[in-house]
């Protein structure tokens, strides 16, 4: 019965944005795959779009984690030469291209879409064709920090501006059972974490602004964006709820905390393993009942 239930659905997974918190998606995917849950459709926003794109390209979660452990703030220690943002993404683009080459989304073994926003029209776009690397750059183009990406004559920025957790995109691509993974959740009693001054995160911020006294100003911007993302996520979930929601409690971790990758990975694994207990039962329910009795882990 177990495999019969799974075969009756086309499994999709929607991965939220969250900057460095996106490391958690890797372990979520790893736990699901090891348990026999292999998504046929993947959608992602920002960090979720990057991890999801790598997975859709055929990279195993173990391979993605090995790549992730090579990511450091030094990859971004170069100002944008065109003045469109603080940070240039040439090194980052090379890193991604070394991982997947010049593959196009329509040629991926898993159906995939990355969410981005047209900076000029405010339109939400689901990129499900074209070069994968450019799509991953577009979905993660955090406004003001990373430069917009030109895509078919449009200037695209981070999809988290409008849709931090693209459950609706997964359904539109044909998923009949969607797992949503939310990285914005803050456990009761937790507060947003402040970096101590000696960690590289604030050093990067100070380098970007070229003035140490601006460090906390930019940190305040990131915190404000995080608060907005949490509210937008809840609103979108109310409109388009997933069939099963995995909340990874990483909302207290700053979006630029690349140095906390081991902790973020561990939180993702714990949340995914907790979700397995009810996932089978949720998939066995008819869709109308899943909507009446939404479950979260």
Catalytic positions, please?
A: 46, 158
Nearest to residue 240, comparing CAs of 135, 124, 155? 124
Contact 51, 174 (CB under 8 A): no
Tokens linked to 66 = 């090995």
Tokens linked to 98 = 């070394």
Q: Which helix (H) or strand (E) holds 25?
A: helix 23-34
Q: Which helix (H) or strand (E) holds 11?
A: strand 11-15
Contact 93, 128 (CB under 8 A): no
Neighbours of 60 (CB within 10 A): 13
Q: Cα separation of 14 and 155, whole Å?
A: 24
Q: Cα separation of 144 and 87, whole Å?
A: 8
Nearest to residue 97, comparing CAs of 53, 156, 128? 53
Contact 20, 255 (CB under 8 A): yes
Name residue, tokens 């691509």. 173
- Which three-class secondary structure state does DSSP give residue 296? strand
Q: Cα separation of 242 and 148, whole Å?
A: 29
Neighbours of 197 (CB within 10 A): 11
- Which three-class secondary structure state does DSSP give residue 144? coil
């Amino acid at each position: 019965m177990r495999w019969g239930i799974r075969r009756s659905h086309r499994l999709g997974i929607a991965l939220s944005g969250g900057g460095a918190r996106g490391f958690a998606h890797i372990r979520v995917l790893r736990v699901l795959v090891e348990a026999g849950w292999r998504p046929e459709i993947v959608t992602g926003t920002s960090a979720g779009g990057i991890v999801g794109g790598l997975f859709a390209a055929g990279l195993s979660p173990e391979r993605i984690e090995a790549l992730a452990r090579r990511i450091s703030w030094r990859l971004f220690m170069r100002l944008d030469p065109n003045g469109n943002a603080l940070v240039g993404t040439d090194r980052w683009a090379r890193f991604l291209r070394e991982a997947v080459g010049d593959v196009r989304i329509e040629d991926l073994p898993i159906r995939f879409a990355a969410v981005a926003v047209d900076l000029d029209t405010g339109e939400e776009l689901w990129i499900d064709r074209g070069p994968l690397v450019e799509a991953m750059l577009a979905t993660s183009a955090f406004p003001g920090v990373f430069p917009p990406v030109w895509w078919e004559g449009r200037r695209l920025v981070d999809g988290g501006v409008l849709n931090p957790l693209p459950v609706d995109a997964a359904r539109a691509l044909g998923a009949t059972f969607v797992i949503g993974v939310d990285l914005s959740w803050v456990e009761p009693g937790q507060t947003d974490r402040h970096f101590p001054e000696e960690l590289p995160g604030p050093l990067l911020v100070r380098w970007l602004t070229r003035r140490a006294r601006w460090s906390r100003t930019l940190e305040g911007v990131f915190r404000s964006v995080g608060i907005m993302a949490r509210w937008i996520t809840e609103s979108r979930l109310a409109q388009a709820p997933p069939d099963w929601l995995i909340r990874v409690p990483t909302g207290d971790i700053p979006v630029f905390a690349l140095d906390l990758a081991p902790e973020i990975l561990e939180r993702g694994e714990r949340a995914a393993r907790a979700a397995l207990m009810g996932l089978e039962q949720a998939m066995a329910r008819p869709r109308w009942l899943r909507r009446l009795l939404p479950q979260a882990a």
